[in-house]
Every structure is written in C-alpha cells, then in structure tokens.
Amino acid sequence: MLLKEGKIGNIKLKNRIIMLPTVTNLSNEGFVSEREVEYYKRRSKGVSLVIVGASYVNKLGKFFINQIGIDDDDKIEGLKRLSEAIHQNGAKAGIQLAMHNPKYKPSDFTKEQIQGLCTRLCKWSNKGEKGWF
C-alpha cells in the first residue's frame, strides 16, 4: 500500500511516503544554506513528497534561530535551489508557511495587521505554486 501511487487533490504522488515538516535550523539568517540543500537532497530519496519545515512569512513570526525565511524576494534563489534538489530525486516539494511566534497572541495585532499577514501568506502560496514548490 505504501508504495502504491497516491494523490493529494490534483497532485500525483509516486508513492505514499511523505516527509513531514521538520525545522532543521540550518539556514543562514533565513537564507537557505548549502547544508540545508544537501540535507533535503538526501531526505528526498524514495519519498513522494517532502514538506520543508516551518518557514516564516514575516520576521515577527520567526521562532527558531536558523529557521528558513520565505518573507522576501531575496530568498527566492535559495528556495529554488532547495526545491530543485528535491525534484532531482523525483519527489514533489512543499513548504510549510508559518507565523508562529508564541511571544505574540492574535490580540497583539490590529485587524489590518492580521489582514496584511493573510495577504502575505496568499502571496507566497501563489509564488510557490507558480514556480518552485
């Protein structure tokens, strides 16, 4: 069963083995590092989908010291290298968009700020869908 083809929505998967998101703390101040690319390259062998660990969409949502950032266009090049490394092994690449700093609670933000964060999440989901993840 695990080796049978699978499907999530319209995404076809070569088997049913998925790597769940796990923050690695290998980035350089939010930028994907070579160690990170190597790590995911190794991990993507044999699985059908790799979900890159929680990546902050806004610095306020950063929780781990060397967490990947998906908050600005200057990070795109590294993120592309990461997804390409995963694709090279025939796996699909996904990324977990996160905003989870427990220092903050929803009431610390105005309605407009929360709307801004939602817009940001959608913007990066679209970018990911169009290009590399």
Ligand X SMILES: Cc1cc2nc3c(=O)[nH]c(=O)nc-3n(C[C@H](O)[C@H](O)[C@H](O)COP(=O)(O)O)c2cc1C
Q: Which is nearer to ligand X, 28 or 115 (CB)?
A: 28
SS3 labels along the chain: CCCCCEEECCEEECCCCEECCCCCCCCECCECCHHHHHHHHHHCCCCCEEEEEEEECCHHHCCCCCCCECCCHHHHHHHHHHHHHHHHCCCEEEEEEECCCCCCCHHHCCHHHHHHHHHHHHHHHHHHHHCCC
Separation of alpha carbons 16 and 50, rounded Å:
11
Of 1, 2, 20, 65, the one binding ligand X (CB under 6 A) is: 20
Q: Which is nearer to ligand X, 13 or 18 (CB)?
A: 18
Q: Which is nearer to ligand X, 61 or 113 (CB)?
A: 61
Residues in contact with ligand X, shown as a per-residue x/- string from 76 to 115 under the rule CB under 6 A: --------------------x-------------------
Mark the segment that binds ligand X (CB under 6 A) among 14-22, 33-41, 72-80, 118-126. Answer: 14-22
6 touches ligand X (CB under 6 A): no
Of 5, 22, 115, 126, the one binding ligand X (CB under 6 A) is: 22
- Contact residues: ligand X, CB under 6 A: 20-23, 53-54, 96
